């Protein structure tokens, strides 16, 4: 890659990422805002790796408007809470989304159905509940889906066909009746975040899949 504004901008982003590990929640949001600005200006980044830090709080909805060419996003092994934001549906070129090993709750947003290029979805080791819907399991490019160590109560019919499509599918240690390797019933009696409202789309910016 040649020198110039793009290289300088990438260096700024890398410098931000290198200083993130010990930031508190307020600074975390400030860094995300700055990263958001840089990515929108450059439009050339394909990977964001925020893994293995101590970030806490919600994933901002506005982060979905970051970097239309993003291919990989890694938030694994942090302390994130709240819902998986509906803004994930805006990353329509995304191939890898890893939100594992956090404390995300609530239900998965329907906007995941917009991720037509997604190959790897990892929501493992969170506190997500409800039904794993067909709109996730029917994603045409999916190669691996991990929802292990959550609190899903069932999965829809299309999810049962993933094995026949040679798609890796790990749903162990949830709360799905009649399935092997699930949580003991006492752990399923109180679902974390069951009353959490995940509808946080800003007024005036409706989310729709763009062809």
Question: Which tops the pLDDT comparison, 193 or 73?
Answer: 73
* Position 107 in a domain: yes
Residue 112 has pLDDT above 70, yes or no: yes
Looking at residue 91, its pLDDT comes to 84
Give the tokens for residue 138: 């029917």
Residue of 123, 51, 64, 124 lying closest to 94 (CA atoms): 64
* Position 139 in a domain: yes
Residue 6 has pLDDT above 70, yes or no: no
pLDDT digit string (tens) for 173-194? Answer: 999 999 999 999 999 998 887 7
Residue 44 has pLDDT above 50, yes or no: yes
* Position 7 in a domain: no
* Position 204 in a domain: no
d(CA 78, CA 52): 6
Q: What is the CATH number of the domain that holds 96?
A: 3.80.10.10
* Position 197 in a domain: no
Quick check: helix, strand or coil at residue 120? Answer: strand
d(CA 90, CA 207): 8
Of the CA atoms within 13 Å of residue 91, those in its CB half-sphere come to 26
């Amino acid at each position: 890659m040649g020198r110039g504004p793009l290289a300088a901008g990438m260096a700024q982003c890398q410098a931000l990422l290198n200083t993130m590990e010990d930031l508190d929640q307020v600074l975390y949001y400030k860094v995300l805002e700055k990263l958001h600005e840089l990515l929108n200006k450059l439009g050339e980044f394909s990977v964001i790796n925020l893994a293995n830090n101590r970030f806490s709080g919600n994933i901002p909805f506005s982060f979905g408007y970051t970097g239309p060419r993003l291919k990989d996003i890694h938030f694994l092994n942090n302390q994130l809470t709240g819902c998986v934001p509906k803004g994930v549906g805006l990353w329509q070129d995304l191939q890898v989304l890893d939100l594992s090993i956090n404390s995300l709750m609530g239900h998965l947003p329907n906007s995941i159905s917009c991720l037509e290029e997604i190959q790897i979805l990892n929501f493992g080791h969170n506190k997500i509940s409800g039904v794993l819907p067909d709109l996730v399991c029917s994603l045409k490019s999916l190669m691996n889906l991990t929802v292990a160590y959550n609190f899903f109560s069932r999965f829809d019919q299309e999810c049962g066909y993933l094995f026949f499509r040679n798609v890796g599918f790990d749903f162990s240690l949830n709360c799905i009746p009649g399935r092997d390797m699930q949580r003991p019933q006492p752990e399923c009696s109180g679902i974390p975040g069951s009353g959490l409202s995940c509808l946080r789309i800003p007024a005036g910016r409706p989310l729709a899949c763009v062809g």
